[in-house]
Amino acid sequence: MTRAGFDEVVLLTGFPSFAARRMCVELVRDPRTFVHAVVHPKFDAEAREAYEALAPEERTRVNLLEGDSAAMDLGLSGAEWKALAAEVDRIHHMAQVTYLSADRKLAESVNVGGAREILELASACRSLQCLVFHSTAHVSGDRSGHVLEQDLDKGQGFHNVVEETLARAEKMMRAAMPKLPIAVVRPSIIVGDSQTGEVDRFDGPYFLVLLIVTSPADFPLALPGRADTPLHLVPIDYVVRASRAIGRDPRAPGRTFHIGDPSPLTVKRVFELVAAAGGRRVPRGFIPANLTKALLRTPGIDRLAKSPRAFLDALATPVTYSFANTAELLADTDIRCPPLESYVDRLVEYVQFRLREKSARSERAESDDVTDPLV
């Protein structure tokens, strides 16, 4: 395919998901890097749009491959599979189901089955330097206290099928580490870009943001769950920069890396910052978890944020994470996780922008007597 003339040929799965799209942008910043991106047929139009958004020169270094990361041989032709095995030296496996209320069959197929298939390809690669498996810090499940990067199976339970299936996939990666150069990265709760606020969907912590910015300006909200629990947020731009650097470091294979804010803020402090950014009153007190879940049964809440109940289950777990491995590898770089205080305004502004955009679409639809099925 394209091995000649490039210092690095990368296989990227999961494109054009938000995280994989941002990883692709990060990878092609280097003019000596070529990227093969596996795209499921049902996401072809979205992938083409993301591809066209790249700079003209960058597009010459991205090859979209129709396939399915959870299918045999990644859904590629025999010739494509062999060509990748001959030239790929790094893999970022980002094809995963992350929706917290995902169907079990789908989560097992993509998260576990996809891990199995990418290991098959990695085993055939002639010059593989690192397979970066993108997981989540929440494979810690319902554990409390301090979680080390080398921790995995500690008898924990899981809040949802995403945590469970990614933990199973990690076990497969660990079993293969003696034979293959594999590094596991575990981001905490991913939020939008720290510079622009951009995010693909209002899920997880965005329930809190939406709850605040859509409430009356003078209405004091109560915190859902425990106010003193650490809320582990990390911006997408830091996640992709750190993941790429880890994947290129020869010290990475055989290790696991938490990617997040080493000084996470409490739920109360996050609420205060979001309220201030949104021009709302500072929240007072907190609502017990059982009452919060009862309130979330109100019809229409799930329209604002996906799976808030599943998010609150995870939010109630008092846990902290070690970042020792990540800190070691990034020590000599300029890659640092920005504090939430430095970008919370951008996150809130982006949410408000999207809400205004949605409201404008609704008004246009009403004026034209047309119903938009996507609103």
Q: Residue 241 above 80 pLDDT?
A: yes
Task: Give the mean pLDDT of the chain.
Answer: 88
Alpha-carbon distance of 316 to 261, in angstroms, equals 18
Digit-coded pLDDT (tens) for 77-92 = 999 999 999 999 999 9
The CA dihedral of 138, 144, 149, 150, to the nearest 10 degrees, is: -110
Alpha-carbon distance of 227 to 112, in angstroms, equals 35
Alpha-carbon distance of 94 to 102, in angstroms, equals 17
Q: What percent of the chain has pLDDT over 70?
A: 85
Q: Residue 208 above 80 pLDDT?
A: no
Q: Residue 255 above 80 pLDDT?
A: yes
Q: Which amino acid is at 102?
A: A
Q: What is the DSSP string of 100-118?
A: TT--HHHHIIIIIIHHHHH
Digit-coded pLDDT (tens) for 165-180 = 999 999 999 999 999 9
Q: Which of 102-106, 233-237, 247-251 has the lowest mean pLDDT?
A: 102-106
Assess contact for 192 and 334: CB atoms under 8 A.
no
Digit-coded pLDDT (tens) for 30-47 = 999 999 999 999 999 999
Question: What DSSP designation does 29 have?
Answer: T
Q: Residue 219 above 50 pLDDT?
A: yes
Q: Is 63 left (phi over 0), alpha (psi -120 to 50) or beta?
A: beta
Q: What is the pTM of this model?
A: 0.90
What is the H or E stretch that residue 230 is in? strand 230-231
Digit-coded pLDDT (tens) for 275-314 = 899 888 776 666 555 545 554 554 444 444 445 555 666 6
Dihedral pair phi/psi, residue 33, rounded to 5°: -115, 135
Question: Residue 255: which of 175, 150, 119 has the closest Cα?
Answer: 150
CATH level 3 topology of 8-191+232-259: Rossmann fold (3.40.50)
Digit-coded pLDDT (tens) for 338-353 = 999 999 999 999 999 9
Assess contact for 90 and 9: CB atoms under 8 A.
yes
pLDDT of residue 280: 82
What is the pLDDT averaged over residues 128-151? 97
Q: Coil, strand, or helix at residue 180?
A: coil
